[in-house]
Amino acid sequence: MKFSGKSEEYFEMCDLHSSLNESGQKEGVLSIIWFEEDDNIIYVDEKRYIVPKDAIISYTWLHKIRIERASKAKCIRFNSQFYCILDHDSEVSCKGILFFGSKHFPIINLEPKDQEVLDSIWKMLSVELQSVDNLQLEMLQMMLKRVLIILTRIYKNQGGYDSIENTQVDIVREFNFLVEQYFREKHTVSEYAQLLNKSPKTLSNLFGKVYHKTPLQLIQERKMLEARRLLRYTDKAISDVAHHIGFKDIQSFSRFFKKHETKTPTDFRMAST
């Protein structure tokens, strides 16, 4: 079931099945999947995860998702036009911790009380999708926000976010969001520090508390992620891949890629076919 608005708002609810390839999402689409039975196997950017019953994952259009096994699961998808307006609280918005601000790929484990509440909202969303009137968009947005708030609270508790000052979390979240926007053009911590009105040292110290990685590692990992995707899933020439992620020449790109992957771009592509 889908909702399409006059300003390109998009919202969808669907059931997922085994061997579903979740690649090729449209630009700007965010997804939430609730696995309702046990022993699910998914690959996120080719990394394997075993997801238990009553766990939820959230991801952006930037992820490459492949579901190897999922006997029963349900999904919500929406774009930024549907839910990402400026007056939404940043913690549950499209650049909140469920999508851009978490330390790891989010897997949210639900307690029975959480399951009951979320199942009720999920059913209300399904009913509202069948109601076509001028209040439908507002109702769907309101219920989606409830889902995001509940999942954010659960994930913060699971990930220890309550032990970190909110202002620090906000900076980390904003850094991640900026990297998603500018990783092709901006390659140094100083450039992102300037956008955030912070010093590079402040960012490094903050990430030492929040992450097990440095800001520079996160920038480089995002570039590598894009490089792997383009080499694995497209026919772009290696020189075009290098240019796409901000390298001026193929030689510097090849050195960068081999340092992180231990293979040349050519060898990586051949091994992926």
pLDDT given for residue 98 in this prediction: 84
Average pLDDT, the chain: 84
Concatenate the DSSP letters of all residues of the chain into one string.
-EEE-TTS-EEEEEEE-TT-B---PPTTEEEEEEE-SS-EEEEETTEEEEE-TTEEEEE-TTS-EEEEE-SSEEEEEEETTTS--TTS-GGGSTTSIIIII-SS--EEEPPHHHHHHHHHHHHHHHHHHT--STTHHHHHHHHHHHHHHHHHHHHHHHHTGGGS-HHHHHHHHHHHHHHHHHTTT--SHHHHHHHTT--HHHHHHHHHHH-SS-HHHHHHHHHHHHHHHHHHH----HHHHHHHTT-SSHHHHHHHHHHHHSS-HHHHHHHH-
Q: What is the pLDDT of residues 101-111, one digit of tens each?
A: 655 678 999 99
pLDDT greater than 50 at residue 19: no
Q: Are 53 and 35 in contact (CB under 8 A)?
A: yes
Q: What is the pLDDT of residues 175-204, one digit of tens each?
A: 888 888 899 999 999 999 999 999 999 999
For the chain, which domains are there?
Answer: 2-162 (2.60.120.280), 166-272 (1.10.10.60)
